[in-house]
């Protein structure tokens, strides 16, 4: 699981507007008193701030201002007509005046039908007895500026617990059911917003002494059925904080909490992470996603992205967390992750490519392939280019220079240039400012042996516009191989290498150390190619009404673009990804009718549903990528609605109900180009 984007698109411009003043502590401050009854969904709040002049602010349409004052005198409040779910309010005031705004209303109920995509596309403030989430971008409070400090005083019914990001300044635990839970939170650094999380939580705590710093307060806010997981999450949070403090610099806050969410969220906020309760149960989350969220307290919440110039935080966090854990596991696991990034990139339609400088947040798979995968690969290639020691120095320099400031890709470049001792402008320009990536190939390899020695001439080509690259080439002999690095800055380069013997073949970048368009033989089809297709097609090959209905419901969840419903005969028309859905018997008939390979033997007679991408080597008239969902019945198909969209990186899966019992990627090792031996 990766961190989901914190910033809705509507906030990006507001955030960027604060760049000029972000280097210094923000002048804006918000005092907020919040009383929430999750059962009735009633919110009452009082906001106090210094006016920047006439104060305009949005509120969700479920909320309304009931009173306002300027310097203690009643003030007129003018609401505008709602624009969608948002209404703008206006309070006339001179600059520096003390504003007090009282507001409230009944919030929308918690929408537990939201899937992982739904939470990415923006949510209203939501409340319910089982859990409440008021997202920073949902207009539930008056925002005084793009960046601001705050104090929040929170009052809840006795059985509820809640928090916002920040230091716990005060807390009162009710002694009986008639009391109220009261807590005060302070955030004195520049903040981009306030997220409020409330639920029937059991709170567990660990205090960790720190040398030359306040003790660290670690907490879990878990539901009772998660209580057995508490100690593990507290201990691992401590371990990650200590590890990244050593690698980057001291942890910049005094607390860190892991908070269970009733929604499929994976948010990283300052001092906390908000993760879906069902996801917290998964055994691998503590070993992967938790560290990713902890690291966001440095990248994203400790140094802020300059969103106008691109969000670098997700890529650096992915590289230093998710990828770092794979490197510790094994070289093979690390290569598999790099291959996953390149496969995801290859699945993005050419017209959907965007440069890293344009990435803001993840709302679609195409954006994730760039903002997470390509950005992480950039840091991997940068480490190759400048060396590990210089890379580590660059990371620490960047943190020291930009702690609690807004920083851009240019600021990252400057820190790494200082650490490496040489310019990196061309490296960053081609990987940050340009969309897509190069396609490379070995056009020819010739060798000539003389007196027990050999000269190998390798011709490497790349597509235009060209990149300046340093590319590894594997030279394979019988029983051994060696790697040479080749500089390439044109469409074609012939490199001559002196060897002790004539090799059998050569292979370009076998360890996938360069961001590039994979060759066909390196590229097994994966489901993401269908999920993010620009014009996907769907063919339901079973006439059962329940199957047809379940197939259309699944298509709404699976595809990012509404698919066109077509007949089976259209599989041979055009090249857009084609998904075939039906019960086992009808799928087998359809595959035979189209002259496609039969159901893979490794999947046959297993589970209640089988999903696979077709490796079509039998019907060359069909150019479209084809994938199949074959099910026992309509109920088996309906069971895939929630899990299947999460498996875009797979080529095949077997499900037993909603549980994946088998998954994998078709092998695609890449071709060895034979060496042509010349004779005098």
> With contact defined as beta carbons under 8 Å apart, do 498 and 455 qualify?
yes
Mean of pLDDT values over 212-241: 96
Assign 119 a pLDDT band (cuts: 50, 70, 90).
Answer: low
Assign 365 a pLDDT band (cuts: 50, 70, 90).
Answer: low
Residue 24 confidence (pLDDT): 47
Which residue(s) pair with 334 in the sheet? none
> With contact defined as beta carbons under 8 Å apart, do 409 and 358 qualify?
no
- List, in order of start, the domains of the chain with CATH numbers: 26-116+140-194 (2.60.40.1730), 305-433 (1.10.390.10), 440-521+672-678 (2.60.40.10), 528-664 (3.30.379)
The rounded distance, in Å, linking the Cα atoms of 609 and 634 is: 10
Residue 84 confidence (pLDDT): 85
pLDDT in tens, 458-491: 999 999 999 999 999 999 998 899 999 999 999 9
| 656 has pLDDT over 90 | yes
Assign 78 a pLDDT band (cuts: 50, 70, 90).
Answer: confident
pTM score, two decimals? 0.83
Residue 585 confidence (pLDDT): 96
Mean of pLDDT values over 433-452: 91
Q: Of residues 99 and 27, which shows the higher confidence score?
A: 99
3-class SS of residue 192: coil
The rounded distance, in Å, linking the Cα atoms of 221 and 230 is: 9
Assign 35 a pLDDT band (cuts: 50, 70, 90).
Answer: very high
Judged by average pLDDT, the poorest of 12-26, 93-107, 284-298, 381-395 is: 12-26
Tell the burial category of 323 from Cβ atoms under 10 Å away from its Cβ (0-12, 13-18, 19+): buried
Residue 121 confidence (pLDDT): 56
pLDDT-above-70 percentage for the chain: 94
> With contact defined as beta carbons under 8 Å apart, do 557 and 658 qualify?
no
Q: Which is it for the CA torsion 188, 189, 190, 191, positive or negative?
A: negative
The rounded distance, in Å, linking the Cα atoms of 348 and 337 is: 17
Residue 545 CB contacts under 8 Å (≥ 6 apart), including other chains: none
The rounded distance, in Å, linking the Cα atoms of 238 and 240 is: 6
Assign 19 a pLDDT band (cuts: 50, 70, 90).
Answer: very low
| 334 has pLDDT over 50 | yes
**Interstrand relation of 55-60 and 86-91 (parallel, antiparallel or unpaired):** antiparallel
The rounded distance, in Å, linking the Cα atoms of 408 and 297 is: 17
User: Residue 325 has which token pair?
Assistant: 């854990």
């Amino acid at each position: 699981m990766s961190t989901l984007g914190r910033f809705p698109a509507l906030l990006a411009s507001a955030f960027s507007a604060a760049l000029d003043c972000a280097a210094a502590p923000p002048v804006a401050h918000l005092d907020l008193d919040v009383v929430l009854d999750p059962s009735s969904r009633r919110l009452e709040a009082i906001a106090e701030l210094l006016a920047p002049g006439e104060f305009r602010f949005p509120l969700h349409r479920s909320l309304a201002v009931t009173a306002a004052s300027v310097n203690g005198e009643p003030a007129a409040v003018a609401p505008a007509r709602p624009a969608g779910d948002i209404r703008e309010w206006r309070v006339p005031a001179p600059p520096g005046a003390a504003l007090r705004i009282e507001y409230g209303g009944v919030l929308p109920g918690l929408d537990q039908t939201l899937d992982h995509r739904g939470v990415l596309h923006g949510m209203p403030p939501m409340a319910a007895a089982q859990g409440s989430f008021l997202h920073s971008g949902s207009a539930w409070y008056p925002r005084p500026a793009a960046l601001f400090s705050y104090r929040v005083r929170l009052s809840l019914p006795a059985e509820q617990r809640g928090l916002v990001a920040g230091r716990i300044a005060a807390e009162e635990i009710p002694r009986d059911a008639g009391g109220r839970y009261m807590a005060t939170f302070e955030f004195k650094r520049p903040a981009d917003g306030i997220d409020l999380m409330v639920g029937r939580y059991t709170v567990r705590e660990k205090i960790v002494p720190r040398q030359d710093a306040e003790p660290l307060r670690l907490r879990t806010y878990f539901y009772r059925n998660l209580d057995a997981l508490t100690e593990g999450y507290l201990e691992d949070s401590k371990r990650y904080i200590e590890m990244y403090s050593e690698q980057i610099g001291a942890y910049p806050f005094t607390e860190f909490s892991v908070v269970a969410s009733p929604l499929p969220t994976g948010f990283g906020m300052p001092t906390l992470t908000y993760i879906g309760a069902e996801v917290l149960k998964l055994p691998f989350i503590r070993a992967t996603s938790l560290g990713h969220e902890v690291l966001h307290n440095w990248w994203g919440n400790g140094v802020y992205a300059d969103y106008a110039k691109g969000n670098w935080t997700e890529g650096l966090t992915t590289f230093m967390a998710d990828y770092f854990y794979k490197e510790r596991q094994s070289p093979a696991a690390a290569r598999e992750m790099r291959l996953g990034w390149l496969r995801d990139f290859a699945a993005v339609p050419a017209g959907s490519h965007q440069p890293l400088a344009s990435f803001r947040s993840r709302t679609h798979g195409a954006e994730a392939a760039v903002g997470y995968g390509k950005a992480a690969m950039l840091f991997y290639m940068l480490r190759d280019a400048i060396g590990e020691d210089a890379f580590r120095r660059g990371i620490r320099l960047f943190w020291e220079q930009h702690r609690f400031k807004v920083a851009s890709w240019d600021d990252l470049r400057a820190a790494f240039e200082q650490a490496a001792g040489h310019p990196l402008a061309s490296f960053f320009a081609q990987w940050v400012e340009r969309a897509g990536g190069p396609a490379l190939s070995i056009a020819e390899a010739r060798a000539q042996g003389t007196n027990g020695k050999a000269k190998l001439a390798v011709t490497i080509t790349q597509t235009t516009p060209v990149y300046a690259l340093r590319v590894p080439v594997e030279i394979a002999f019988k029983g051994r191989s060696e790697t040479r690095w080749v500089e390439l800055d044109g469409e074609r380069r012939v490199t001559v290498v002196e060897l002790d013997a004539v090799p059998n073949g050569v292979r370009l970048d076998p360890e996938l150390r360069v961001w590039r368009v994979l060759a066909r033989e390196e590229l097994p089809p994966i489901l993401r190619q269908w999920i993010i297709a620009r014009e996907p097609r769907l063919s339901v090959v079973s006439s059962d009404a329940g199957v047809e209905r379940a197939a259309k419901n699944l298509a709404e969840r699976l595809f990012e673009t509404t698919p066109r419903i077509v007949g089976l005969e259209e599989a041979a028309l055009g090249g857009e990804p084609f998904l075939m859905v039906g019960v086992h018997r009808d799928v087998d008939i359809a595959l035979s009718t189209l002259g496609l390979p039969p159901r893979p033997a490794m999947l046959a007679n297993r589970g209640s549903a089988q999903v696979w991408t077709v490796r079509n080597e039998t019907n060359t008239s069909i150019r479209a990528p084809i994938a199949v969902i074959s099910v026992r019945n309509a109920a088996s198909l309906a069971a895939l609605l929630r899990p299947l969209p999460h498996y875009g990186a797979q080529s095949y899966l077997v499900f037993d109900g909603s549980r994946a019992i088998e998954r994998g990627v078709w092998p695609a090792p890449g071709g060895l180009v034979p060496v042509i031996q010349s004779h005098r």
